[in-house]
């Protein structure tokens, strides 16, 4: 099973899911559920910038996938009445790619750069004067006749997002005025998100059904909305269309999402550690090869939640399964008596 096939994979969305994902996104800070401290801080920055009639300071959102980094950047643009221009770090392959985007911005625009940690170093260095002085250094010609000119840029804001803040250089990070980190959501917050999304989708759902989906959503709103859509399909095809607690449980069991929110790939990784490697330690590349997956998918998509649940530990020698992981799969840890 690859990452692209996962029911709860937060990284890949089909065109249909992308359209629905956009429809479910809140448009204002008031509609955004969770991340209360970050919302309060952003509201303060927005009010201050509007009062001074200047662009908001550069923003760097960090945190696991699916927690609302892109949504918050869009909300900031909406609250500021500014244009929203999205791009991504991997798309900016050459300095000229960044220069083309920057020179087409207008005053107050928000340039959103997703996965900024994947931006090439040569492009990053061009970004420094743009962030600090709203200017762009352009080299004309080659060799001895080459000369540099400085172009003045409109006063804009860069709102960047990253799932790997440790890979961002200190020089780049320090040029952002505000760098909030988004945390996983509580089950109560996810239940509110599921209920709100169900209303937008026209899905009848009771409190127990919303709570059941929230419990299995890995602390992530994007996963909660995706599971809601799959449960909606189950409810419409095999029941009367209304999502109760029992319908949600049976639907999620059909899609192989267990009570902790683990799917087939999560189980495959845990089983590999426990049964093939005796509970660990096992290296990341070896573990990824054992389940036929990319190391980045294991490290960025699967591991964070398993670590949060206390099923895994990272050690200098590799990944080690905890006693909780053995118990969750109904196995007995080596050296202990079965209960």
The CATH number of the domain holding residue 120 is: 3.40.50.300
- Band (14; pLDDT cuts 50, 70, 90): low
User: Which residue in the list 162, 163, 297, 322 is annotated as catalytic?
Assistant: 163
Concerning whether 31 is annotated as a catalytic residue, the answer is no
User: Which residue in the list 25, 70, 218, 322 is annotated as catalytic?
Assistant: 70
pLDDT in tens, 276-289: 888 878 888 888 88
**pLDDT of 141 higher than 80:** no
What pLDDT sits at residue 147?
66
Mark whether 195 and 313 lie in a shared domain: no
Q: How far apart are CA 288 and CA 306, in angstroms?
A: 15
Residue 338 belongs to a domain: no
pLDDT in tens, 145-181: 666 777 788 899 999 999 888 888 898 999 999 999 9
Q: Is the pTM of this model over 0.85?
A: no
Q: How many CA atoms lie within 13 A of 247 on its CB side?
A: 25
Type and span of the H or E element at 314: strand 312-315
Mark whether 75 and 114 lie in a shared domain: yes
Residue span of the structural domain in which 95 resides: 35-173
User: Which residue in the list 114, 162, 249, 319 is annotated as catalytic?
Assistant: 114
Concerning whether 114 is annotated as a catalytic residue, the answer is yes
What pLDDT sits at residue 42?
93
**pLDDT of 12 higher than 80:** no
Buried b (16+ CB within 10 A) or exposed e, 249-265: bbbbeebbbeeebbbbb
Mark whether 246 and 141 lie in a shared domain: no
Residue 59 belongs to a domain: yes
Type and span of the H or E element at 292: none
* Beta-sheet strands, E only, within 6-66: 59-62
**pLDDT of 96 higher than 50:** yes
Mark whether 195 and 130 lie in a shared domain: no
Concerning whether 163 is annotated as a catalytic residue, the answer is yes
Mark whether 154 and 65 lie in a shared domain: yes
All residues at 6 or more sequence positions from 281 whose CB lies less than 8 Å from its CB, including other chains: 315, 317, 318, 319, 320
Residue 269 belongs to a domain: yes
Q: What's the mean per-residue pLDDT of the chain?
A: 85
- For range 195-219, the mean pLDDT: 90
CATH of the domain at 235: 1.10.8.60
**Strand 318-321 relative to strand 312-315, pairing:** antiparallel
- For range 55-80, the mean pLDDT: 92
pLDDT in tens, 250-309: 999 898 888 888 888 888 888 888 888 888 788 888 888 888 888 888 887 788 888 888
Q: How far apart are CA 55 and CA 212, in angstroms?
A: 42
CA distances from 297 to 2, 285, 289, 310 (A): 9, 11, 12, 19
- For range 196-212, the mean pLDDT: 90
Count of helices and strands (H, E) across the chain: 15, 8
Type and span of the H or E element at 158: strand 157-162
Concerning whether 296 is annotated as a catalytic residue, the answer is no
Distance of CA 181 to the CA centre of its chain: 11
Type and span of the H or E element at 160: strand 157-162
**pLDDT of 316 higher than 70:** yes
User: Which residue in the list 6, 25, 69, 216 is annotated as catalytic?
Assistant: 69
What pLDDT sits at residue 227?
93
What pLDDT sits at residue 328?
87
Comparing 22 with 50, which gets the higher pLDDT? Answer: 50
Mark whether 108 and 158 lie in a shared domain: yes
What pLDDT sits at residue 181?
94
The three-point CA angle 186-247-17 to 5° equals: 65
| Short-list 222, 287, 300, CA closest to 261 | 222
Count the domains in the chain: 3
Residue 78 belongs to a domain: yes
Residue 68 belongs to a domain: yes
- For range 311-333, the mean pLDDT: 86
Q: What is the dihedral of CA 101, 102, 105, 111, to 10 degrees?
A: 80
- For range 225-248, the mean pLDDT: 89
What pLDDT sits at residue 3?
45
Concerning whether 157 is annotated as a catalytic residue, the answer is no
- Band (5; pLDDT cuts 50, 70, 90): very low
User: Which residue in the list 6, 25, 216, 222 is annotated as catalytic?
Assistant: 222
Is 96 in a helix, a strand, or coil?
helix
């Amino acid at each position: 099973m690859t990452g692209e096939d996962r029911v709860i994979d937060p990284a890949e969305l089909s065109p249909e899911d992308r359209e629905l994902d956009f429809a479910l996104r809140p448009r204002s800070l008031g509609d955004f559920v969770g991340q209360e401290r970050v919302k309060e801080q952003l509201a303060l920055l927005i009010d201050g910038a509007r009062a001074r009639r200047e662009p908001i300071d550069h923003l760097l959102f960090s945190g696991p996938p699916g927690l609302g980094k892109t949504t918050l950047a869009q909300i900031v643009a909406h609250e500021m009445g500014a244009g929203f221009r999205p791009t991504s770090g991997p798309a900016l392959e050459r300095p000229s790619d960044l220069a083309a985007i920057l020179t087409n911005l207008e005053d107050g625009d928000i340039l959103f750069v997703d996965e900024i940690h994947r931006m090439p170093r040569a492009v990053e260095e061009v970004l420094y004067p743009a962030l600090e002085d709203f200017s762009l250094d352009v080299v004309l010609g080659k060799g001895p006749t080459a000369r540099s000119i400085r172009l003045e840029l409109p006063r804009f804001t860069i709102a960047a997002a990253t799932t790997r803040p440790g890979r961002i250089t200190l020089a780049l990070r320090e040029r952002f005025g505000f760098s909030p980190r988004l945390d996983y959501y509580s089950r109560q917050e996810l239940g509110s998100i599921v209920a709100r999304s169900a209303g937008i989708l026209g899905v009848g759902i009771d409190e127990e059904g919303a709570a059941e989906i929230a419990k299995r959503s890995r602390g992530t709103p994007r996963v909660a909305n995706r599971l809601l859509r799959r449960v909606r399909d189950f409810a419409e095809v095999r029941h009367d269309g209304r999502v109760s607690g029992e319908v949600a449980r049976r639907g999620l069991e059909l899609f192989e999402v267990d009570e902790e929110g683990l799917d087939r790939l999560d189980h495959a990784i845990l089983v590999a550690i426990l049964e093939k490697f005796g509970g660990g330690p096992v290296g990341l590349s070896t573990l990824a090869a054992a389940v036929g997956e990319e190391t980045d998918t294991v490290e960025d998509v699967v591991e964070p939640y398993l670590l949060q649940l206390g099923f895994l530990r990272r050690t200098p020698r590799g990944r080690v399964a905890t006693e909780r992981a053995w118990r969750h799969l109904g196995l007995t840890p080596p050296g202990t008596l079965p209960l």
